[in-house]
């Protein structure tokens, strides 16, 4: 009978203690203060590493955590929320207080303010500039055609790279029958040759775009029926910008050579037999 009373008494005491300890047992975010036999005192969180051998305290500082193991026998006192904890109950309370170290809070990246870099509009061609000259680009002695330097320009006079189609026309006076042009002694200025080229931005150099335009069947070096001077007309069509034109007069089509002119008057030839040409 007495044993039954003791059991009932223990049950009632447990019923009384549990409500009193419930605040101590259900808060894993609270910190425990322990007093050691050495006189030192620590207040920290109870870490999940705590077991029957050691009490592990976790100290949080900034973004890191420091762990300290303490042998149970070194603990001589403990407090939680200002209330003393009996040493006999300390392990049970710590079992309920155990918590893992919180994951480090990652600060959101500072918003990168995309600088609105003003996109300057693509340069627009407003005009073209040209230069033309007689040229020889192979190993023989006669000239081969004309070189045209083309410069597409924006409103500031700067060279710009473009896609487009360029057409080059060469006008020169040619000898015709006298009655066809009696006022000019039988000479008639007309289209001698036309070239059409597609141009791309990669062709642009520091001085513009260079076009190598060979003479066709009518070659001034071998045909005295063509005058030694001509006019070059260039037309550049740029999609989205328009068509731009420029002309250059006084382009030499045959180099001045007193010796060759004299030879031509003598035998109708401008080159010596020892000279290599592409039209012999």
Domain range summary for the chain, segments of one domain joined by +: 2-97, 127-267
Give pLDDT tens digits for 227-259: 999 999 999 999 888 999 999 999 999 998 999
Question: Which residue would you say has higher pLDDT here, 278 or 137?
Answer: 137
Q: Please report which helix (H) or strand (E) contains residue 242, including its range.
A: strand 242-252
What percentage of the chain reaches a pLDDT higher than 90?
A: 37
Q: In the predicted model, what is the mean pLDDT of the chain? A: 82
pLDDT at 182: 79
Whether 137 shows a pLDDT value over 90: the answer reads yes
Highest mean pLDDT among 8-12, 40-44, 130-134, 220-224: 130-134
* Fold agreement between 2-97 and 127-267: no
Token reading at 124:
């627009």
pLDDT at 60: 74
Class of 2-97 per CATH?
A: mainly beta
Q: What is the CB-side half-sphere exposure of residue 90 using CA atoms within 13 A? A: 27
- Name which of 268, 125, 98, 104 is nearest 199 in CA terms: 125
C-alpha dist (Å) from residue 244 to 7, 125, 213: 111, 9, 19
CATH pick for 127-267 out of 3.40.50.360, 3.30.2130.30, 1.10.10.10, 2.60.40.1940? 2.60.40.1940
pLDDT at 103: 60
Give pLDDT tens digits for 198-209: 999 999 988 899
Whether 264 shows a pLDDT value over 60: the answer reads yes
Q: In terms of C-beta density within 10 A (0-12 exposed, 13-18 middle, 19 or more buried), how is residue 32 classed?
A: buried
Whether 93 shows a pLDDT value over 90: the answer reads no
């Amino acid at each position: 009978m007495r044993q039954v009373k003791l059991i009932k008494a223990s049950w009632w005491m447990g019923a009384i203690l549990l409500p009193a300890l419930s605040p101590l047992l259900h808060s894993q975010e609270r910190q425990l203060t322990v007093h050691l036999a050495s006189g030192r005192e620590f207040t920290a969180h109870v870490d999940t590493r705590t077991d029957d051998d050691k009490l592990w305290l976790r100290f949080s500082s900034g973004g890191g955590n420091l762990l300290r193991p303490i042998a149970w026998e070194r603990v001589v006192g403990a407090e939680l929320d200002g209330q003393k904890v009996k040493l006999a109950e300390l392990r049970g309370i710590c079992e309920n207080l155990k918590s893992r170290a919180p994951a480090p809070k990652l600060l959101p990246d500072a918003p990168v303010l995309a600088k609105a870099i003003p996109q300057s509009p693509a340069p627009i061609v407003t005009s073209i500039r040209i230069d033309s000259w007689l040229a020889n680009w192979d190993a023989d002695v006669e000239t081969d055609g004309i070189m045209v330097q083309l410069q597409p320009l924006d409103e500031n006079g700067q060279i710009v790279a473009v896609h487009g189609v360029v057409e080059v026309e060469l006008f020169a006076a040619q000898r015709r029958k006298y009655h066809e042009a009696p006022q000019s002694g039988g000479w008639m200025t007309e289209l001698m040759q036309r070239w059409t080229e597609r141009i791309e931005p990669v062709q642009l150099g520091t001085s513009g775009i260079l076009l190598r335009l060979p003479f066709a069947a009518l070659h001034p070096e071998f045909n005295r029926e063509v005058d030694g001077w001509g006019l070059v007309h260039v037309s550049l069509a740029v999609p989205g910008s328009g068509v731009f034109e420029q002309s250059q007069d006084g382009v030499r089509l045959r180099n001045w050579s007193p010796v060759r002119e004299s030879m031509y008057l003598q035998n109708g030839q401008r080159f010596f037999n020892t000279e290599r040409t592409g039209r012999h």
